[in-house]
Chain A
Amino acid sequence: MSNIMLYAEVTKENYLHTVVFELANKAQELSKKLNNASVSALLICKTGLSENFKEAFINSGFDYVYIAESNRLTHYSTELYSKVAIDIIREIKPEIILVGATTQGRDIAPRISSSLHTGLTADCIELDINEKGQLAATRPTFGGQLMATILCKTLPQMATVRPKVFKPAPENTVKDTKFIYIKPEIDNIQKKVEFIEFVKGLNTSINDLDSAEIIVAGGKGMKNEAGFELLKNFAQSIGGCIAASRGAVDMGLAPVDIQIGQTGKTVTPKLYIACGISGAIQHIVGMQNSDKIIAINNDANAQIFNHCDCGLVGDVFEVIPELIKIIKNSNGENTSDINIL
């Protein structure tokens, strides 16, 4: 029977990465098109940690969870984790392997695929099973101007998907999950890369964007620093976070950690307002799953208007101050509160 395996990434702080549940939901969908292929997870972690995750695995519809635990596996290590993963994959022989396109996933996945002499499609935004039962992995290419559906001639067929591209299952899909412990064979490995220290990030803008309900993003059309100041005021007036397109980041108007798009972050707020962003697909793939999208751009033919619910054609430097004014007036005496950072 065919088998879809997910890499169950454990974060630095010893949680299961949310992308695992998003991939689990997609894997259930793919499984239905493969005569109910089993869905399994591959968990590599320090001794005892798997106990914390068992309920989550049971509730996410996994048929099997393969667990390799060791105290040598306390910190993610490319050398040890890829060795363990490759050993287990050779044993279980899954036909499809999905990995989150996180820094850890993008570090380990090419190591696995290269060792197994198989293909790996990076950063997919859609996964499907074609009429021949192959994994059809779609990703943006050529700077995001073109979409390509990629197939793989060899097994396992591997793909990475970014967090937030797929939605986690809306309801619990409880299954009679079987947990299988496998002893990792790593005693003889001399590590060449040694963990020295970890300093938790002080820059919280990344996490802010992950949980933001409203995002106001600026592109090249915001032109200069004053433009981004204006954007910040606008974001504050509606209780949003600011973000930027790659164009704006390349111009030095915004830091790279708030860049949205294929080479930046993927976000899914309730409301995304794109200001002075032309709408190259490389940007769209990072925000298209937002609930509602609004665009403000002076070019009525800008691509962004094909990807939004509502828009206004006009100069951002005229429109945004006007919007701020209307919002402040409509809030009456609350105006002063809104200006507070």
Chain B
Amino acid sequence: MKIIVCIKQVPDTTDIKWTENNTIQREGVESIINPYDIYAIEEALKLKKTLKNVEITVLTMGPLQAESMLKKAIALGCDNAVLISDKKFAGADTYATGKTIASAIKNKLPDYDLIICGQFAIDGDTAQTGPSVANQLNIPQVTYVKELKKCDEECVYAVREIEEGLETVKVEFPALLCVLKGFDEPSRAKINGIIKAQNTNITVYSMEDIGLTPEETGIKGSPTYVSRAFRPEHNRAECEICSDCNTLVQRITEFGGFSNE
């Protein structure tokens, strides 16, 4: 069984700093594997433990520096790594990103059973790229997957966590799954994994390699564009700073706190 895990390198968003000119300081911001994608890798590794002949290819679209993140995925136990990288991909929205990843899979990794992605990336938080890839590949998707149950060569049972409860569905391969953070702590890299990662060559594909034109990728291939970016304004009147707890309790009461019910 062949599994592709799509991952994304994201800035560690808890650590963002502003420059004096009100722009985001990008230099020196640490990059991490999107936390949800760690669980996507974890689900693939779990399947590898329970089924025979599972081969995991980890795939990302990003700058050449993303190689280090792919090596981390190899260290965790993935078998191969593919980086799709081209300056022409810059500025891609979720439509263009979905198209680019789907083209790479169609052209370079067409022989797959399952694609696993994280449900969201913590930087964009759109949750759109996974379904967009599935749609371009014309395969079914299952989103908000909390847990994988029975799995064999032909299908998998997936438990979805939705607003009202847990829904179990059975999906035939080939299919794409978007996973939430699972129940188990993700695996850590083992020493032989780290050695393997050092000796693994990352395959890099450019736009031409995956059969796309400049019009279909990056900012040109994106239906959406940012017309304005700004720091959020304060939308409340001046905040009243209370000098002591008694005043604060008075405000809590005025604002509807402890209504004796």
Contacts and interface: CB of A to CB of B under 8 A. Distances in A.
Contacts of B132: 110, 113-114
Nearest to A102: B163
Interface residues of A, number: 95
A172 B26 CA distance: 49
Closest 8 CB pairs of A and B: A143-B13, A119-B223, A119-B224, A201-B165, A122-B126, A110-B131, A114-B135, A292-B255
A274 to B, nearest CB: 12
Interface residues of chain A: helix, strand, loop or mixed (majority): mixed
A288 interface: yes
A262 B181 contact: no
A148 B224 CA distance: 12
B226 A149 contact: yes
Interface stretch (A39-47, A52-60, A307-315): A307-315
B94 interface: yes
Interface in A192-240: 192-202, 206, 213-214, 237-240
B135 A117 contact: no
B191 interface: no
Given A111-B131, A271-B252, A307-B235, A145 B94 contact: no
Contacts of B129: 110
A117 B257 CA distance: 50
A336 interface: no
Interface residues of chain B: helix, strand, loop or mixed (majority): mixed
Interface in B12-26: 13-14, 16, 18, 24
A121 interface: yes
A129 interface: no
Contacts of B94: 110, 120, 122
Given A145-B18, A319-B248, 10 more contacts: A110-B94, A119-B222, A122-B128, A143-B13, A147-B230, A150-B224, A151-B224, A199-B165, A310-B242, A323-B248
B98 interface: yes
Interface of B: 11, 13-14, 16, 18, 24, 93-95, 98, 120, 122-132, 134-136, 139-144, 157, 160, 162-172, 175, 181, 222-232, 234-237, 239-242, 244-246, 248-249, 251-252, 255-261
A110 B128 contact: yes
A312 B251 CA distance: 11
Contacts of A12: 162-165, 167
Central interface residue in A193, A288, A330, by most chain B CB within 10 Å: A193
Interface of A: 11-13, 78-79, 102-104, 106-107, 109-111, 113-115, 117-123, 130, 136, 140-154, 192-202, 206, 213-214, 237-240, 247, 250, 256, 262-263, 270-271, 273, 281-282, 284, 288, 291-296, 300, 305-313, 319, 322-323, 326-327, 330-331, 334, 338
